[in-house]
Amino acid sequence: DIQMTQSPSSLSASMGDRVTITCRATQNISAYLNWYQQKPGKAPKLLIYAASSLHSGVPSSFSGSGSGTDFTLTITSLQPEDFATYYCQQSYRTPFTFGPGTKVDIK
């Protein structure tokens, strides 16, 4: 199976901060990488698919980049509604594994 790692596992940030989350795959997955946001007690929501494509309705403050094994999710200016846990997921090969998540909370 393809394993996914994320760093950091958690971070504290202030409103307006720029935040970057890194995701790494154990093998080349090209751009088969998706990002999801999850708030406590809620279902995940799709943010980014195919490494860099912004899902409909997602603010342009979110962006994704990378290819191969290394990927990043960037939030350019953190808003109150962005405090959540973020997961990357590879869809190159089944099982479509998720990263362990990065929790973003308020400093």
Partner 1 sequence: QVQLVQSGAEMKKPGASVKVSCKASGYTFTNYGISWVRQAPGQGLEWMGRVSAYNGNTNYAQRLQGRVTMTTDTSTSTAYMELRSLRSDDTAVYFCARNAAIIRWHPLYYMDVWGEGTTVTVSS
83 scored as a contact of partner 1 (CB under 8 A): no
Q: How far apart are CA 63 and CA 35, in angstroms?
A: 10
Which residues have a Cβ under 8 Å from the Cβ of 52 and sit 6 or more positions away? 31, 63, 64, 65, 66
23 scored as a contact of partner 1 (CB under 8 A): no
Among the listed ranges 14-22, 59-67, 70-78, 99-107, the one in contact with partner 1 (CB under 8 A) is 99-107
98 scored as a contact of partner 1 (CB under 8 A): yes
Q: How far apart are CA 28 and CA 46, in angstroms?
A: 22
Q: Which is nearer to partner 1, 59 or 77 (CB)?
A: 59
55 scored as a contact of partner 1 (CB under 8 A): yes
36 scored as a contact of partner 1 (CB under 8 A): yes
Q: Which is nearer to partner 1, 1 or 70 (CB)?
A: 1
The DSSP string of 84-96 is: SEEEEEE-SSSS-
